[in-house]
Structure 1
Amino acid sequence: MRTRRTLLTALLTATAASATLTTASFAAAPARTIEVSTAAQLKAALTGASPGDTIHLADGTYSGNFKTSVAASAGSRITLTGSAKAVLTAGGGYGLHLNGAAYWTVKGVTVTGGQKGIMIDSARGVVVDTVTVHGLDMEGVHFRKSSRDGVIRNSRIHDTGNDGRGMGEGIYVGTANTLSDKSDNVQILGNTIGPDVGGEAIDLKEGTTGGKVSGNTFDGRGLTGNHYDDSWVDVKGNNYVIENNTGKNTLNNGYETHTQQSGWGCGTVFRGNRSTLTGATGDKQLAINVTNHSGGCKTTVYASNTVTGGRGLTNIPVTP
């Protein structure tokens, strides 16, 4: 009996040890901090990162085009971080391209040069925080190809659209002339955009829904007026909240809504925005110009919005 019990105990102990070994062998690797000081190291880190990792950039200039397609998760993000003196400088193309790279955080760095700054394609939950983006031929930061639930906050964007074609938006959400790009629920919070932004500070395209533009500061000096780029914010998507922003200097209106596709450019709510139109040309400018206000496409402009200069607050009835 004792022999059988001894053998049974030994067997159970060996089985438990084997299970522990098997579990350990499949455990996730610990999160790393990857220190980077050269462009080659940065390119390697972007392609070799794993969920939970942090890529830390030393101060300095990183020349080239940088991209990643590594996806993280909501509970285990990948972070690319550095100070504003860690400068990604492109000679053309995209400065930083997150292509399918879901749940990344990009924090603190500067992106300059090239055609476009930070491009986010097919990547859910990307957070762009406290970055500086400037010196570009076209737009600064673009959420595209159904990059849902993104955030850009506390960032500085200026000197874009330098090719003069009117494609220098500060922040661009979605894709023009299509409804297939569902870059929904993008939050644009507390940024400073302008001056010398050739397109709108923010362009919210048809096909996108449910985002928020809150607490931003706009300076429209440098708007080109090309392709109707003549306001701080142009809303062509649905059900956006535009609140507590401050704007000055514009070629035309402060904020505009447009129906580029049937059923779009609807449901926008404006509240608490402060507009200064004294820099606008002519006398027909409005703080908020709504081009389609009907029973099936309503826009709400609250009396908490204010305007100085121009022709007035809005062209639709104001809600108390």
Structure 2
Amino acid sequence: MRKKINVGLIGAGRLGTMYAEFLTTQVAGVNLIAVADIIPERAKKCAETFDIPKHYFSHQEINDDKDVAAVIVVATTGNHKEIVVDAAAKGKSIFCEKPMALTLDHARAMKAAVEKAGVFYQQGYMRRFDKGFAAAKHKIDDGTIGTPVVFRGSSRDPYLPSLEYLIPKNSGGQILDMAIHDIDIARWYMGEIASVYSIGGVLAFPEVKPTGDTDNVIMSMKFETGCLGEIDISRNGIYGYDIRAEVLGTKGTLMAGYLRDTPVLVLTKDGVTHDVVPYFPQRFRDAYVSQLNDYLNNLTKGLEPMIKISDGIIGLQVAVAATASLHQSKPVNVKDF
């Protein structure tokens, strides 16, 4: 059994609340001793709900807490840079949710601060810890489908977020918000992405147009190996939360992901039906827990994380390039960003 680590949680919104539950009920070797949120009511409620001894109203306070050895950052993406730079300067080990930041300047400043302080950092990309996506990676590495030549990723959300969130200065835009996981899986399966060409528009929800964002995007990619890829993202997967990846190889094809939530089919005279995955908390619950266990195991044993700070930066670099391509209506090279 590993030694228990005193952890502080920064961010008590929807995802932060999920993390608080995982850390207090399902993750071994951790003491969640503090939570912080800039909205006082959220910090208080989270502390009360999960019996967390301390609550703070700023990241500075939790980073100053000498009892906190590691922080888990699930705050608003636009605040990640300030939080991580402060945590690194104060010697905290860090886990940071995706996206790493909204801009490459912020992400690179985070990397510089982490390297200067010499603290442990692990980037969050929970899809790598999903059993299906991980099994596909193992089969690719084992040569089951020969040499991978084409990647396809698809992410479809069942409903539209708030219009305020969709404003690119808040979300980073649809590509950064939705495709960042697909980009990471593409890199994990196929290697680095050399160029990207994005097309998209407001096709389903006219109310999105004033925000300056899109609701559907298709990205075509070329990998450094010369292999090809495509990612499609949509805000109007009204039938359920649909997340998939496919790799075509020289000896076969792999498909990861599923839509049906429970293994039950209903067969009646009206047809054959089944339920669907509601949204990401249900679909990736186990992956989030596995990811946290992996972080704490790496931290206590001094192991190199599978997902490093460089993965956060490169994934963001591809997303920024893809967003630029969308606005410029032309292919772009990732290395130019």
Normalization by structure 2: what TM-score? 0.24
Larger relative contact order (Cα-Cα within 8 Å, sequence gap ≥ 6):
2
- The higher radius of gyration belongs to 1
More helix by share: 2
